[in-house]
Amino acid sequence: MTAYDAIFWFFSLALLLCGVLVLISPNAVASGLYLVLSFFFLAGLYVLLEAFFLALIQILVYAGAIMVLFLFVIMLLDFRESRHWWRGNLLGWLGAPLAAGTLLTALLPILKRSGALAVAPEQWFEGTLENVMTPVFTRYLLPVEVTALILLAATIGGVVLGRKETKP
């Protein structure tokens, strides 16, 4: 086991542990904080995959901006859930393993073929800023513009939805 493997196992096990804690924590604020922590471990996995730019974006945008918004709304609503959230949700408890099983069955052929998908180590992709962003601003320029439009629509939609209702 090399150092790379050890770091991989540490990050992935910590990531999955944080995911489990998000699921089972009865307090929404605790869930949100565990989600932030899991994003940091995910950024660590991105660094292991040499996706340096995405690791940076993951921390800046996800852990920095999106999760602050999340925690802000959790505190704003001051909503208390029942501590026993797992009770009386028979449909959910039946549906969750069914959905996971279906997903796994659909993914198994891909997992089996994953060895054939990989190329030689000298051709592995290094996710530096230049390598990732050059195709974004050349070949995928139209999707960038569409994303910009979507972000604009989301901004306007957020303002409209968040406004206090005025009587006509």
Partner 1 sequence: MMHVGLIHYLAVSGALFALGLACIVLRRNALLVFMGLELNLNAANLALVAFSRYGGHAEGQVLATFIIAIAAAEVAIGLAIIVALFRRRATIVTDLLRSLKG
Site for partner 1 in 90-119 (CB under 8 A): 92-93, 95-96, 99-100, 103-104, 107, 110-111, 114-115, 117-119
Distance CA 131, CA 136 (A): 9
Q: CB atoms < 10 A from the CB of 84, how many? A: 8
3 contacts partner 1 (rule: CB under 8 A): no
Distance CA 93, CA 56 (A): 37
> Which residues from 50-69 bind partner 1, rule CB under 8 A?
50-51, 53-54, 57-58, 61-62, 65-66, 69
Q: How far is the CB of 95 from partner 1 (least distance, A)?
A: 5
- x/- binding map, residues 10-29, to partner 1, per CB under 8 A? --x--xx--xx-xx----x-
Percent of the chain that is helix, strand, coil (3-state, to 5): 80, 0, 20
Distance CA 16, CA 5 (A): 16
The number of residues that bind partner 1 (CB under 8 A) is: 81
129 contacts partner 1 (rule: CB under 8 A): no
